[in-house]
Amino acid sequence: APASLGPGALLLRGFVLKEAPELLQAVEAVLQQAPLRHMQTPGGYTMSVATSSCGPLGWVSDPRGYRYAAHDPLSGQAWPDMPAVGLALAQQAAALAGYPQFAPDACLINQYQPGAKLSLHQDRDEQDLSAPIVSLSLGLPAVFLFGTPSRQDRPQRYRLVHGDVVVWGGPSRLAFHGVAPLAEGEHALLGRRRINLTFRQVKRRV
Ligand code: MD3
Ligand code: FE
């Protein structure tokens, strides 16, 4: 049964377990068109997480700032299409969490190798903060840090494993969150890495 991680945050353990091989194959095809890269932050750091995107919009960071863009700055081309299997699963999960109209226009792909982490942050570059974010975890387990909309509050820690899906909506949408440094390990399907897909609705819909 789905578990609550707090107001508006629903954890669906193993929701994409069965489809994981197909999902991984589709993600690898996306990454051949739009390779993973370590983005620069506006603060001058290089992210330890490697990132790409698919769908109409992709997430880009460089010394000028964070933004969503219709083209991959590496190739100048449009981002690859979202894998249909991933989109369908994300929409099913969103519907279970009470968002039957979820229509993502961006999907970020984050790859963590052992030691990679994501510092505590909020996701607020999307115009439509009434839509949830749906995340799919594949590969090595990660410790996810989940706080509140106030940076001062100490985050809770949750272990997310291969096949898990989380729908982040409502009051959790502006929560501070991050990922602790990935522990060393080897996953049967993905090897020495974790891949996280986040489906987002960036543009406001009428
Ligand atoms: C809670 N990614 O890409 S996914 C990100 O595992 C990001 O790669 C992490 O944070 C990862 O921005 C966490 C879960 C997630 C994504 C967005 C959220 C949780 C969220 C936005 C608001 C609240
Ligand atoms: Fe985030």
Q: Is 177 in the pocket of ligand 1 (CB under 6 A)?
A: yes
- Our answer on whether the CB atom of 148 is closer than 6 Å to any ligand 1 atom is no
Ligand 1 centroid distance, CA of 114 (Å) = 18
What number is the ipTM of this complex?
A: 0.96
Residue 175 CA, closest ligand 1 atom number: 23
Query: Which of the ligands is closest to the CA of residue 61?
Result: 1
**Residue 67 annotated as lining a ligand binding site:** yes
Of residues 205 and 136, which shows the higher confidence score? Answer: 136
From 177, 190, 193, 201, the mutation candidate for ligand 1 (largest count of ligand atoms within 8 A of CB) is 177
pLDDT value at position 1?
Answer: 79
pLDDT digits (tens, 9 = 90+) for 123-147: 999 999 999 999 999 999 999 999 9
Mean pLDDT along residues 183-195: 98
Using the predicted structure, report yes or no on whether residue 206 has a pLDDT greater than 90: no
Q: Which atom of ligand 1 is nearest to the CA of 112?
A: 8
Distance CA 22, CA 43 (A): 37
Is 157 annotated as contributing to ligand binding?
Answer: no
Could you write out the three-class secondary structure of 89-121?
A: HHHHHHHHCCCCCCCCCEEEEEEECCCCCEEEE
Choose which residue among 122, 196, 200, 202 to substitute to test ligand 1 binding: the one with the highest number of ligand atoms within 8 A of its C-beta. Answer: 196
Question: For residue 87, what pLDDT band results from cuts at 50, 70 and 90?
Answer: very high
Task: List domains and CATH numbers for the chain.
Answer: 3-200 (2.60.120.590)
With H, G, I as helix, E, B as strand and everything else as coil, classify residue 147. coil
H/E run at residue 83: none
Which string of DSSP letters, residue by residue, matches 3-24?
EEEETTEEEETTTTTTTHHHHH
Reported as a pLDDT band with limits 50, 70 and 90, residue 54 is very high
Mean confidence (pLDDT) of the chain: 97
Ligand nearest to the CA of 146: 1
Which ligand 1 atom is the nearest neighbour of the CA of 200? 17
Looking at residue 2, its pLDDT comes to: 87
Report the residue count for the chain: 206
The mean per-residue pLDDT over the stretch 103-123 comes to: 98
For range 178-200, the mean pLDDT: 98
- The closest residue, in CA terms, to atom 6 on ligand 1 is 196
